[in-house]
Amino acid sequence: MSVFEEIRRRLDIVEVISEYLPLKRVGSNYATNCPFHPDKTPSFYVSPSRQIWKCFGCGKGGDVIAFVAEYENLSYAEAARLLAERYNLNLDFGKQDQEEKNKYLSALKRISKFYEEHLREVKEAKHYLLKERKLSAQTVVDFNIGFAGDGFKSVAFARKEDIFQPLLELKHFYQTAEGRYKDFFYERITIPIRNSQGKIVAFGGRAIKDSLTPKYKNSPNSIVFQKEKTLFAIDRARKAAREKERLILVEGYFDVIRLHSVGFRETVAPLGTSLTLHQARLIARTTSNVYLLFDGDTAGRKAAIAAAKNLLRFSLNVYVAFLPAGADPDTYVLQEGIKGLKSLLSEARLIQDFLIEKVQEADLQGKEKLAHLYKELVDNIPEPIKRELWYKEFRNRTGLTLTKKGKVYFGGQPSAVEKELDPSEVEFLLGLFHLGEKVNLEEYKLSPKAKQLAEIILSEDGKEKVPRWLLEADTTDLKRRFELAKVKLSIEKNLMEETFKTLYQLEKKIKEGQATRQEVEDFCRLLGSVNKKLYQLYKRKIESSH
């Protein structure tokens, strides 16, 4: 029996998941809102009898190990080890890759201890941290901050402790032109970077001399560290973030360290780059509210917009609190204190409100530029209804109409013709125009206005005569919307054929784990429409026979 099978056999999936999510009994199963996608109604189910979990919204599922891996942003093997340690399962993993990782993690932990001890011996490094950075001695200890020194003493220590080879493999050491090995972080303050479980996986380095470049550097990516998937201090911040229901995102290590030291322990930072999609996913698994605390200059605002795009893909509420130009959170707290930071965060605005206010203040050219920026944010929102609400809010507050195609009009409301049509007719016409499909209009029940527009679209020069709203409409997932509209509008003539065709396609997607909650709900509505149409058809047939 493998260690994975042993873990599945010895652990109760309901007990494990209950430590992460509030489960409610539903018949013989348990249910809750899914933590892996926006979910207003419970679609996440846990089966005690089968020892599996499944979300019928996003399609994710698996065993107890797969859940922990997904929730904690770990590999399957890492999640298995975490469970074994957490529940005191004495298991021999025997996996070469895990043994390799442990070897590297152990080496990084030990070299970190060397850096900490070496820092105490170097006055210049201590002066930089305590006097120039104005960190307390306790904060330095709490974050295990150290100093790499001349780059040769750490190599000698590693050889003595038999950790030279793994650190060399991690590119923590390199060979100089003279053939000597030297520490990657020589003459730099070292700040341990930890994974979600609190294990040291890399270091950030800060030069203490202006002549040394680059000023900041991180460990290279490795088997235990992927910069784009790691957030600095996420292991420390997660608990506070869940208690305060927010995460504060800043740009640098020392910003995080400063804010933690004054009580804002829900603070994290990307590692010297723009926030990545992986990092945004990590945030989404922790909280639904993110506060971007960036510099108020042009670069800071661009960084905030870039971060917001990825965060909005996970339906997070993104707030912005911009610092005075040239300031960073570290220096701001030193100058304005905790009270000043609290005041700044209390004035934070949702990113959409911030942009709308800027549009209201801007000149004609600025309005159009900011409107396009607003649309770039909207494009990252996964829910169609939420996108529409953002567009409506923009129109109501700015007096501008921002179309899905990115065009900006002063004033303007939805077309009166568009309002007259049945929603299914709108979807049908959009499909005809944007997908270019040819159909026999006699097979569909259309209002006179919808039929007239359909004939224009299908005519040889129809592309030049269609109304503007057809050109600018949202075409997201249009193929599915068009097929559903065709079935609804042709229901009397091709009732059984179209319905069974749709049912067969949906059944196939469900079996393959590709069906979305929206598709299932659409089909349920379709069945209701089928029943109604059948009854109406039957009633007319009976009446016509008398």
One domain, residues 494 and 538: yes
Nearest CA among 181, 178, 153, 179 for reference residue 165:
181
- Alpha-carbon distance of 371 to 374, in angstroms, equals 5
Note whether residue 465 is domain-resident. yes
Percent of the chain with pLDDT over 90: 52
Domain boundary (347, 362, 397) is at 347
One domain, residues 277 and 372: no
Residue 96's pLDDT is what? Answer: 45
One domain, residues 378 and 465: no
pTM over 0.75? The answer is no
Residue 381's pLDDT is what? Answer: 94
Both tokens of 436, joined, read: 């270019």
Contacts of 333-342 with C-beta under 8 Å, sequence gap 24+, read 333/258, 333/259, 333/262, 334/134, 334/258, 338/262, 338/263, 341/259, 341/262, 341/264
pLDDT class for 175, splitting at 50, 70, 90?
A: confident
Domain boundary (302, 332, 347) is at 347
Note whether residue 91 is domain-resident. no
Check whether 418 has a pLDDT greater than 60: no
One domain, residues 471 and 387: no
Q: Which structural domain range is residue 480 located in?
A: 416-545
pLDDT class for 279, splitting at 50, 70, 90?
A: very high
CATH number at residue 171: 3.90.980.10
One domain, residues 537 and 456: yes
One domain, residues 321 and 250: yes
How do residues 24-40 score in pLDDT, each as one tens digit? 999 999 999 999 888 88
Domain boundary (169, 198, 225) is at 225
Check whether 129 has a pLDDT greater than 90: yes
Note whether residue 176 is domain-resident. yes
CATH number at residue 337: 3.40.1360.10
pLDDT class for 483, splitting at 50, 70, 90?
A: confident
One domain, residues 216 and 160: yes
Amino acid in position 264: F
Phi, psi at residue 266, to the nearest 5°?
A: -90, 25
323 DSSP 8-state letter: B
One domain, residues 431 and 535: yes
Note whether residue 245 is domain-resident. yes
Note whether residue 395 is domain-resident. yes
* Number of domains composing the chain: 5
One domain, residues 129 and 159: yes
CATH number at residue 21: 3.90.580.10
One domain, residues 100 and 221: yes
One domain, residues 364 and 290: no
Q: Is 249 left (phi over 0), alpha (psi -120 to 50) or beta?
A: beta
One domain, residues 320 and 203: no
Note whether residue 328 is domain-resident. yes
